[in-house]
Amino acid sequence: MRPDAKVEKVYLYPKPVDFRKSIDGLAALVELDIKVAGFDPVLFVFLNKPRNRVKILYWERNGFCLWLKRLESERSKTAPALTDEAIVLSVELNWLLDGFDLAQPSASGFDA
């Protein structure tokens, strides 16, 4: 699953999340911390502390969906400093899911 044209924004939750949380716990984080309507065409991205797992929460027609990816050899390296505000991503989501370092000028490792 990769975002399609219907997705308006991608929010990266700014702090590591306990991955024992499931849909209800993550939806509560969205409502309380990110303060964005969970029913909008957006994705909410969560990382665990070691950054080797990614969870994506999104609303689809009549309910929330939860997607999980476990990175085997790579770890997600997020460039933005941890703050209390959600970080809005665009093309960086695909880089994050591929385990690239977001601090590089381009995630492919090649400068444009």
pLDDT in tens, the chain (112 residues): 555 557 778 888 888 999 999 999 999 998 888 888 778 888 898 989 888 898 999 988 888 999 998 887 766 555 455 456 666 666 666 666 666 665 555 444 434 3
Calculate the CA dihedral of residues 87, 5, 28, 78 and round it to 10 degrees: -30
Smallest CA-to-CA distance from 52 within 67, 64, 36, 68 is with 68
